[in-house]
Structure 1
Amino acid sequence: MQEDKMQSKDHIYNLIKDKIIRKELFPNTQIVESQLSEETGISRTPIREALKQLSYEGIITIIPNRGAFVSNPTPDKIKSVFECKKVLEAAAIKIACTNITDKELDVLEDLYLQGAKAHASKDFYLFTKLNDEFHMTIVRASKNSCYEKYVNELIQRSNVYLFFYDNFMFTSADDSEALKGHARILALLKAGDVNGCVEAIEKHNQVTLDQLSLNGIIQ
Structure 2
Amino acid sequence: MTNRKNNEELAYEQVKRAIMLKKLVAGQRITEDWVSKELKMSRTPIRAAFKRLENEGLIQLVPNKGAIVYNPSDKELEDVFNLRVVLEKYAAQLAVANMKEEDVTYMEDLLKREKEAYKAKDFEAFMEVNGLIHSYPAEISGNSYLLQEIKTLNQWTDGYLILKDDFYITPLEDVKSIPEHACVVNAFKERDVDAMCQAIEAHLLSTLKDLSERPSIFH
* Distance apart, 1:206 and its partner CA: 0.5
After TM superposition, what 4+ stretches of structure 1 lie above 6 angstroms from structure 2? none
**Does the Cα contact within 8 Å between 1:98 and 1:194 map onto a contact in 2?**
no
Q: Percent identity?
A: 33
Q: What is the Cα deviation at residue 154 of structure 1?
A: 1.5
Runs of 5+ in structure 1 lacking a partner?
none
**8 Å contact from structure 1 (residues 119, 172) kept in 2:** no
How far apart, in 2, do the equivalents of 1:72 and 1:51 lie?
A: 16
More displaced, 98-107 or 118-127? 118-127
Classify 1:95/1:212 alpha carbon distance in 2 versus 1 (closer, same or farther; 3 Å): same
Tell me the residue number matched to 1:93. Answer: 92
| Offset of residue 20 of structure 1 | 1.3
Quick one: structure 1 residues 167 and 52, their matched pair in 2 at CA, closer, same or farther if it must change by over 3 Å?
closer
Give how far 1:19 is off. Answer: 1.4
Q: Give the match for residue 211 of structure 2.
A: 212
1:209 deviation in Å?
0.7
Matches within 5 A, 1:11-160: 11-160=10-159
Match of 2:196, as an amino acid? C
- For the residue of structure 2 that corresponds to 1:61, the secondary structure is strand
- Cα RMSD (Å) of the superposition? 2.1
Alignment-mate amino acid for residue 30 of structure 1? R
CA drift of 1:37 comes to 2.0
Code of the residue aligned with 1:174 in structure 2: it is E
Match for 1:107: what amino acid?
Y
The count of corresponding residues between Structure 1 and Structure 2 is 216
Q: Is contact 1:97-1:197 (8 Å) kept?
A: no
Please tell me the residue identity of whatever aligns with 2:9: D
Aligned to 2:191: 192
Q: TM-score, normalised by structure 2?
A: 0.87
3-state SS of paired residue (2:128): helix
